[in-house]
Amino acid sequence: MTFDSQAYAAQLADKVTRLRDLLAPFDAPEPSVFDSPLQHFRLRAEFRLWREAGERHYAMFSQEDKRTPILIEQFPIASLRINQLMPQLKAAWQASSALSHKLFQVEFLTTLAGDAMITLCYHRPLDEHWHAAASKLAADLNVSVIGRSKGKREVIGRDYVVEKLDVGGRTFSYRQPEGAFTQPNGTVNQKMLDWAFEALGDRQDDLLELYCGNGNFTLPLATRVRKVLATEISKTSVSAALSNLSENAVDNVTLVRLSAEELTEALNEVRPFRRLQGIDLKSYEFGSVFVDPPRAGMDPDTCELTRRFDNILYISCNPQTLAANIAQLHDTHRITRCALFDQFPWTHHMESGVLLTRR
């Protein structure tokens, strides 16, 4: 793969054109464009292992051909830390049958701050020989190591990495658990946080956040408002978000484990939820809602819920569903800010953001 800057610029320009065309029916302003490093931008990577000539190799498969492995020694789109660890880990499993026996998959998770974790997946139970070898590996490479085998998990070190990001003149610390969703492109994630922080602005009312994940946006946005009600359905992400709120001494956020659809029902007083016991929804003076939904976008009822708010700050990983949601809201809200974040360079995927304000 070549990392030609002119080819990248042309691809990014094509994405800008696509986003501009999708949002043209809504009289969107010209998007702010946030580019990515050309290489070493991806903070996580997952490889299958493929045996050839008596050796195991890192391997990936193309979307078009799931049978023919592409053997990999280095992975230039991954972080420098991952590329440093790949040959070191390979040398370690080649030298240790305790590490290599029935090892079939390897996952790396790193951070801009330099933290790293390796997950090793096996088709066998993990014994004391594996534990001794993995403990040495963790010490030698200065990483945490997770062993996975048939639903069981062994943790050496921590089962998370720690990211540090600066937003609005403050450094936030993020616990990112093994197996949970995290933003893959750390540099662009930093730009997304800065944009959202600026777009929301300083406010004297409250914020509703749907799909809050591990609190990636929650932490900095909470410093812009009186208080936040945030929701997330994933238990792992909720646990990480609560740790992150505590670690950063952010004390104006109430987090509930509800889906966006369930919270919509609660706010519409369709039915009560035990997980909302002790929370007075009517005490909130919501002026804004922040959403970062999955690729499917917001369902119609949740989209209708956001119409109640003066400001809708929307981060999207799928511009098609973003446009569909905006079409539902366009009669009451207009796009006042727009951005493209090149979270996934060298692919057709892109992340985008809009601020919708009441007409």
244 to each of 178, 218, 251, 309, how far by Cα in Å?
Answer: 15, 10, 11, 27
284 is in an annotated binding site: no
Tokens at residue 312, please?
Answer: 């809708």
> Is position 121 annotated as part of the catalytic site?
no
* List 212, 303, 317, 338, catalytic entry: 317
Decide if 351 is catalytic. yes
Is 211 known as a binding-site position? yes
Please list, in sequence order, all residues whose beta carbon lies within 8 angstroms of the beta carbon of residue 96, skipping any fewer than 6 positions away: 133
Q: Is 292 annotated as a binding residue?
A: yes
User: Of the candidates 136, 195, 203, which has an alpha carbon nearest to the alpha carbon of residue 315?
Assistant: 195
Say if residue 204 carries a ligand binding annotation: no
Query: What is the rounded (10 degree) CA torsion for 221, 227, 233, 237?
Result: 50
Q: Which of 163, 178, 262, 351 is catalytic?
A: 351
Q: Is 183 annotated as a binding residue?
A: yes
Comparing C-alpha atoms, which of 114, 106, 25 is closest to residue 58?
A: 106
Distances in Å between the alpha carbon of 222 and those of 198, 218, 249, 354? Answer: 13, 6, 11, 19
Q: Which contiguous run of DSSP H or E holds residue 326?
A: helix 319-329
Residues identified as active-site: 317, 351
Residues annotated within the binding site are 183, 211, 216, 232, 292
Residues at the annotated binding site for S-adenosyl-L-methionine?
183, 211, 216, 232, 292
